[in-house]
């Protein structure tokens, strides 16, 4: 898995993931999210458009991060999930826990309302 902050504004950071997020690559995601969580009010959009696979360890990283973010008054949302990831999040109930948008721009616009 590759993880890159592609847009780092004062009000929101966009994190693009690509490849496969699993037990082997989750530590890299944890480290990057930890850096983004260091903000006073973290607001993060995770661009999933290039992520092909995610297992339970990857989902767990998102859940833990969301708990920390929410406690600080921020938010974490997803954009661009492929049909597999959309189905996976729906199956495990995360589509009720996370905001999921078709595009990054939609997630940022919804946050600015």
pLDDT tens by residue, the chain, 113 residues: 888 887 777 788 899 999 999 999 988 888 888 888 777 778 899 999 999 999 989 899 889 888 888 888 888 999 999 998 999 899 999 888 899 999 999 998 887 75
| CA 81 – CA 99 distance, rounded (Å) | 11
SS3 106: helix
- Residues in contact with 12: Cβ distance below 8 Å, sequence separation at least 6, in sequence order: 43, 44, 45, 108, 111
Domain count, the chain: 1
| CA 100 – CA 70 distance, rounded (Å) | 16
Return the CATH number at 80.
3.30.750.24
What range defines the domain where residue 66 resides? 2-111
| CA 86 – CA 80 distance, rounded (Å) | 9
| CA 51 – CA 33 distance, rounded (Å) | 16
């Amino acid at each position: 898995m590759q993880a890159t902050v592609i847009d780092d504004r004062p009000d929101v950071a966009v994190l693009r993931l690509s490849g496969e997020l699993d037990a082997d690559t989750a530590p890299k995601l944890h480290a990057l999210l930890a850096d983004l969580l260091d903000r006073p009010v973290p607001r993060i959009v995770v661009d999933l458009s290039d992520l092909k696979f995610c297992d339970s360890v990857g989902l767990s990283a998102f859940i833990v991060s969301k708990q920390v973010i929410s406690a600080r008054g921020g938010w974490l949302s997803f954009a661009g999930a492929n049909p597999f990831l959309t189905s996976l999040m729906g199956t495990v109930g995360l589509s009720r826990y996370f905001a999921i948008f078709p595009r990054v721009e939609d997630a940022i616009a919804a946050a600015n309302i």
